[in-house]
Amino acid sequence: MNEMKKKVMVSGIQPSGDLHLGNYLGAVKNWAELSDEFDCYYFMADLHTLTVRQDPAALRRRTLTQLAQYIACGLDPEKNTLFIQSHVPAHSELGWILNCYTMFGELSRMTQFKDKSAKNSDNINGGLFTYPTLMAADILLYQPDLVPVGEDQKQHVELTRDIAQRFNNIYGETFKVPEPYIRKVGARIMSLGTPTSKMSKSDPNGCVFLMDSPDDIARKFKRAVTDSDRENCVRFAPDEKPGVANLMNIYSSVTGKTFDEIEKEFAGQGYGAFKPAVGEAVIDCLRPLREETDRILKDKAYLESVYKEGAAKASYVANKTMRKVKKKVGLVAQS
């Protein structure tokens, strides 16, 4: 009896900085649990990093480190297609074609273009403006059913759907129109320094990186913002105590304990006991990931085999889509 075909899922993260606790708890950890249910494509979005000036050697190092971290976090290359975006030329090729089916007004309304332009006012380049069409190409190449997203990426999936539907309306059924896959509730990790903002690579003091040493992790949690009240009580009240709520969310995510269990565990102990305990729990959680990442990075032949095989598998699927697209728009096929 034929095995039922799995639904397809695709996603990527820019190697613009090392993966952090928010990436792991909010995305990569959950991805590992999906590999039996979905046919998954995960890539290092190195082309997207170029909208901001990069140190070439650092970008290469971060790309390979991120791939090693994916594997260390449970993304088995035998079950998931892991590859580097720039190793599959169809991403750039379809990105250009989709530029011609994306309206100027649509791109000008993209929230992240406005945000990134404000942060990089001396380098507002064309790629920064049109990168959502490359993101649409990243997705549509693999004809996915689902795209895992957080709140800040919903707009990109909506634009991707609009582009796909526009193209299909002109040329007939070409792209599958994907649905957003909303991740589990409770994995939105905020900055340790500014708990009203999401944990980000751009705020290294409020961000815990997967490759941080135990001492660095402990120091960051000891300095974590709690709240300015006099209560000094570990209680889950996000509106009143966002700092404590964030720490409880992190502690719950790495230990599996409920908020009620956490409140009982630290009843009467205050923030002085709670913050170091969260730090220790995170250290215990990340230690095997860091050690496995280091081991994989030393095995250069294995890592190279993973990204080469991943690119070959991804290219096979992507090129099937490209042949269809080129025929639809009237490009002469290569003999």
Residue numbers annotated as active site: 116, 198, 201
In this structure, are strands 7-13 and 38-44 parallel, antiparallel, or unpaired?
parallel
Encoded tokens for 259: 């908020």
If one counts every other C-beta atom within 10 angstroms of the C-beta of residue 138, the result is: 29
List the one residue out of 235, 238, 241 whose CA is nearest residue 268: 235
List the one residue out of 292, 296, 291 whose CA is nearest residue 306: 296
List the one residue out of 204, 211, 200, 223 whose CA is nearest residue 279: 223
Identify the burial level of 51 via C-beta atoms within 10 angstroms of its C-beta, where 0-12 means exposed, 13-18 middle and 19 or more buried.
buried
> How far apart are the C-alpha atoms of 205 and 216, rounded to whole Å?
10
List the one residue out of 222, 228, 231 whose CA is nearest residue 268: 231
Encoded tokens for 235: 């209680």
